[in-house]
Structures are given as C-alpha cells and as structure tokens.
Chain A
Amino acid sequence: MANSQLNSGNPRVDIEYRRKKSAEEMKQQVVSFALMIFLTLIAFAAVAMKGASAWFVVPFILLLAAVQVVFQLYYFMHMKHKGHEAPSMFLYSGLLVGLITILAFTTIIWW
C-alpha cells in the first residue's frame, strides 16, 4: 500500500522526497476539506432558498453528496494512490449491483 511510513527504518528512504510528497498531500487535503465545507454550505443554501422547487433541490443535493463521497474516498481514504485496485474494483462492483437494484425497483415495482 502507498500510505508508507516516514520512519520505515530503511536507510535508502529519500526523506526530502517524502517530505515534499507529504506536503503536497496535505495541501490537497486542506483544499478538498475546504471544498467539502463549501459544498455543504451550498446544500444548506439550496434548501433555505425561497422559490426553489423540490424537483431541483433534491437531485442537486444528491449530486453534491456524490461529489463529497468522491472527495472522501480519493483524497482522505487514499484511493487515488497505487495499490488500491482491488478495493476500488469491489467498491464499483458493489455500486453497480446496488444501482441496478434501485433502477429495477423504481422502474418495475413502484412505478
């Protein structure tokens, strides 16, 4: 896995390189954290806004939620790093199975 430790005890570890990597990582995390707060504020604003119909607000909030999940998985849970092929394959397979189920339920049972 790529979440490697700085104190690995390996004498050949390039500390400078690691430090730069970590700083970059930290920057991305702060940016995505700020973005997530911002998206949450937008979601609240959409609900508070007068005149916006539920047909707009509900899908809009769901879309924002999906974006947040992506941030969470890729920036905070390191899915963008190497070595996460198996977890992402299973996540996407599960997503596919779940979506097909929802699609089927909404199209042939309830409506």
Chain B
Amino acid sequence: MSTYAQKKGFGATLWDYLTTVDHKKIAILYLIAGGFFFVVGGLEAVFIRIQLAVPNNDFVSAGLFNEIITMHGTTMIFLAAMPLVFAFMNAVMPLQIGARDVAFPFVNALGFWLFFFGGVFLNLSWFFDGAPDAGWTSYASLAMASKGHGVDFYVLGLQISGLGTLIGGINFLVTIINMRAPGMTYMRMPLFTWTTFVTSALILFAFPPLTVGLVLMMFDRMFGSNFFVTTMGGNTVIWEHLFWIFGHPEVYILILPAFGIFSEIFPMFSRKRLFGYSSMVFATVLIGFLGFMVWAHHMFTTGLGPVANAIFAVATMAIGVPTGIKIFNWLFTIWGGSVKFTTPMHWALAFIPSFLAGGVTGVMLAAAAADYQYHDTYFVVAHFHYVIVGGVVFAIFAGTHLYWPKMFGTMLNETLGKITFWLFFIGFHMTFFIQHFLGLWGMPRRVFTYLPGQGFETSNLISSIGAVFMSLAVIVMLYNIIMTSVKNVKVGNDPWGDGRTLEWALPSPPPFYNFKQLPLVRGLDAYWLEKMEGKKGMTPAEPLGDIHMPNSSFLPFVIAFGLFVAAFGALFNMDDKAWSVPVIIIGLLITFGAMFLRSVKDDHGFHIHKEELMEDDNDKGVKA
C-alpha cells in the first residue's frame, strides 16, 4: 500500500472521503462540515445584529427573526461547535495516545455521516415552510404550539445527529481505555486526551436524556400522544428538565475539549511543562462530575421552590472551584516560561480574561435570588456568549492554527492569523461586553425589535458594529486557508518546534497507519522527553511487523442516508400524505439493509506488510 502519495483525480478523492474510515480523514470531514455550519450560523448571527442595529427595524419580520435565532443557536451548538471539537478529537487524540486508529473505525465514519445528514435535514427546513422557531431549547409549551413543520425538523434532525454524536463519544471512550501505546498510563496522557475522555463520558450520559425528550416530543407532534399537553394531563416542565439534564452537560462537552486545547498550547509556547498536571486532571473530572448536578439553574424562575433553587445554586457555584484551579494552573504555566507569541498563543492568552469574565457572570447568575432579575435579559445572552465564544470558539480558532500543519501538512500564515485574532478579539468584546449593560438596563432576550427612546439605540449599534469585525476576522481566516492551500508549502514533523506530545513525533500529515512501530512512552510529554535527551524520535516499543488495517466502506454513508429519507416520511406523516408511510419504510429498509449487509459480509481488512513499510519512506530509518 505504498501508493497513497499518488496524485488522484477529483472523483477518486471524493469517493475516498465518502468511504473513508481513517480517523484523520474523518477529522477533515468534521472540520469542513463543521466549518460550513459555522459560517451558516454566523450569517444568521449577522442577520440578528442587522435587525437589532437600529430601533423599529424591519429587515426581517418577527416570525422570521424567531426562526433565525432558533437556527443560530441550534446550528452553532449542535452543528458547528460540537463537530469542530470532534474534528480535533479525531485528528489528534489517537495520535496523542499512540494508536493506529480509533477502536471502531467503521462506527467513527457512521457517526460523522449521521451528524452530517441530521444537520442537512435540520437546515433543509428553510426550504420547507419555515425553520424551527421555538428557540434552541425548544421548550414544549412553545414548541407544541408552533405551526408548520419547523419544530418537526428540529426534533428529527437532532435525533439523527445526536445518534452520531453518541456513538462517536462511545468510540472515543473505548479507544482511550484500550488503545494506549505501551507506557502510556492514564496519568501520562496529554490533557487534550484527558478532556476528550471526560467529554466522551459526558456525551455517554447526557445524550440519552435528550434522545428521550426528543422521542416524547416526536410522538406528541407527529403521532398524537400527550406527554407535554397539559389539557390532557401532560406536563411541559418535564421537557425543560430532560432538556437541561442534557443541556448543561452539553456546555461542558463543548468547553472541556477547549480547555484541553489550551492546556496543550500553554506548555508548548511557554516551553515549560504544564503546571499542576494532576490537579488539572482532577479538576477536569470534577467539572464533568458536577456538570450533572446543576441543570436546574437554567430553570430558577420555573417555580421549583426555594429548597431546590438553593441546592442547585450552591452546586453551581461549586463548579467555580475546579475551574479556578485550571485558570491558576494555566497562569503558573506561563509564569517564568519563555513565551513565544504565536497565533495559537494569542488566542490562549486572550481566552483567560475573556472566559473568566463569562465565569464571573456565571456565578452572578447562579445566585438564584438575583437570577430573577437577570433572567431572560441580554445579561444572560452576554454571559453565555462570553463562555462559548470566549472559551470554545477561541479554542477552535487556536486549534485550527495549531493543528493545521498536523492535519494538512502546511502552515497557516502567522501574520494573517494574528490579523484574524485581533479583528475577532476586538469584535467579540465590542459585540458582547455592552450586552451585559443592555441586559441590566432591561432589554429582554429574543425580541425582534425595540422602540426608540428607551436608551438601547447606541449600545445596540455598537454591538452590531462588533459583529462586522468578527465577520471580517472569519473572512481573513478563510483567505488564509485558501492561500495556504494554494501555496502548499509542506512542513516537517514538528513545525512549531516546541511539540511536546506524541503527535508531533509523526510526519505532517501522518501516514495512514500513523505509527510504523508503536512508540514507547516514558513519561508525560513523551516527545519532549526524547528531544531533551537528544533523540530525534520516539523509541519503538515493538519490532517492525505487519499492520492490520480496516477496509474503506460506503455503508456508513448509506446507513445514515436511509435515516435521512425515513425522517422525511415521518415529518410529512402528520399531513396525512399518502406517500409518507412508504417513504418511512423505504428509508428504514435502506438503513437496516445496509446494517444487515455489514453484519453478514465478512470484512477482515488488509495487512500492510513489513517489506512495504520498510521501502515506504527512507528518511526515518526503521529500528530493530
């Protein structure tokens, strides 16, 4: 199999990506799809800011505004942030633990295609009488009253993409537990691997409640059940609980990998090992654990009663402790280090104060009594954009610059990267800082316009100008990506020069089998350790031998496509369309047929033989 470096035509490349089970290519698919949805969600954000730039604006109607804010939130959380985070997990985690792939490569591909078809399905709602308009939380009392098919698109689309996320998470768990290289003990795992591990555990426990909630809502809206219909004895508050039992861990599912990326960047560019590694691991696990005991802080004003509010308020404030541990550890990592101000380091340094501001307003909101004042105002909007943009989106930008060479073999332009950073950093604070005050002055969330003379005009205009800066930043980065790909200047193993973990010991991009010989890990920051002892690469832990690899398969695409078809049938079933039931059956037949084919057809994969590995590339000699 030494043919992988050959030039391929467009059709062959496309087919390669449609059938791939290689974690590095799936990472690229996640990056492209997530990036696309990020741009879509970003455009929706721009429309929101145009509408709110001046009072009494009629850029969009009230109904369309509701659809835009719903789709902005849903797209950004489920279709942009999560897949982009998954892109880095897929690209980097197996390399960091010294594995040749994830535990179940076929399932990994299936996870991607389920997410992708779910996302496409959700966005197709724009072309069928209207997108969902009940907010990204889709509270049942609102969603049940929503006319048209918007909410049905939400329910079915998220169900399908949620399946993909769930099996992706399980896959990562199995990989990290079982596939670590010799010597890679749990307490030698890089922090990004640790956060991937805890995140995957959160996915495992948090997604089932969402699935249950979505199933209940699907039956209510499409098949006439009454779980959330109060006149028939149902209870809409159950949806709120189910949603937030999922929804609160979900925000940690997003932020923990972001912490992981920054925990890689700080030691790399401070040229010092991470301060307090074991306390970082402890804090990560503790945040994951506490993440399940605080969901009701999203519902303080629902009327849970003072006892429940007090318990959840205290539990919420407790999360500030492990997060504080992390912040101090990052600061102490930088302190006394020989800091190199690269683009990823810019994002990382800006992340600390930005995220901290979001954390502080989080503790303010956690005070249940005060929350009655903040609830449903722009203060809340400012808070969660500070944590999600200041935390997760900063990490995604940082990770894109940091791991671009590892994923594509080329280095993004540093000057353009810093321009992106400054435009985005200024635009972000300009847009969202002022929103704290708008909230405190009384501007409610989710309103499509406001009247002049209430003191909201100037602040909203400033906020909208900030959005222009952020848009420019994204455009500069897209330009940077295109220019870098056109120039196509290849780089070596460790292009930053300061790589500490195993992925930097491999060529950029790594060969499809990752490690010719599994590396021997002798401590934390395995590659750094070897470099400090004057060695060029890792010591192999095994003699050179045949490598067993999985075959590519088109079936994951087909399985996901079948569910996509069936979802259309289910959606139009409530209109009494005659064709809807056959469409459901055809879709499910495609899915189960493909699954059946996968089960009965033996697919043993193939071996890369020792001789091929030896002649493959001669720059790194094969040892022992």
Contacts and interface: CB of A to CB of B under 8 A. Distances in A.
Given A86-B177, A90-B201, A97 B292 contact: yes
Given A109-B237, A109-B238, A97 B205 contact: yes
Contacts of A101: 209, 245
A108 B308 CA distance: 7
B204 A90 contact: yes
Contacts of B89: none
Contacts of B245: 101
A32 B514 CA distance: 47
A93 interface: yes
B314 to A, nearest CB: 15
B304 interface: yes
A97 B238 CA distance: 17
A109 B234 CA distance: 12
A100 B293 contact: yes
A104 B299 CA distance: 13
Contacts of A109: 235, 237-238, 241
Contacts of B238: 105, 109
A93 B308 CA distance: 22
Classify the secondary structure of B's interface with A.
helix
A7 interface: no
A93 B291 CA distance: 12
B547 to A, nearest CB: 23
A100 B241 contact: no
Interface string B295-330: 010000000110010000000000000000000000
A8 interface: no
A49 B204 CA distance: 42
A96 B237 CA distance: 22
A94 B293 contact: no
A107 interface: yes
Given A86-B177, A97-B292, A109-B235, A104 B241 contact: yes
B304 A108 contact: yes
B296 A104 contact: yes
A101 B177 CA distance: 27
Interface in A22-59: none
A104 to B, nearest CB: 7
A86 B186 CA distance: 12
A104 B209 CA distance: 14
Contacts of A105: 238, 241
A5 to B, nearest CB: 19
Given A86-B177, A108-B305, A109-B241, A93 B235 contact: no
A60 B82 CA distance: 44
Which residue of A86, A90, A101, A107 has the most chain B CB atoms within 10 A of its CB atom? A101
Interface in B220-267: 235, 237-238, 241, 245
Contact of A100 (B177, B237, B292): B292
Given A86-B177, A93-B205, 5 more contacts: A90-B173, A90-B201, A90-B204, A93-B201, A97-B205
Interface of B: 173, 177, 201, 204-205, 209, 235, 237-238, 241, 245, 292-293, 296, 304-305, 308
13 contacts: A90-B173, A90-B204, A93-B201, A97-B292, A100-B292, A100-B293, A101-B209, A105-B238, A108-B304, A108-B308, A109-B235, A109-B238, A109-B241
The 7 closest A-B pairs by CB, nearest first: A97-B205, A108-B308, A86-B177, A108-B304, A97-B292, A109-B237, A101-B245
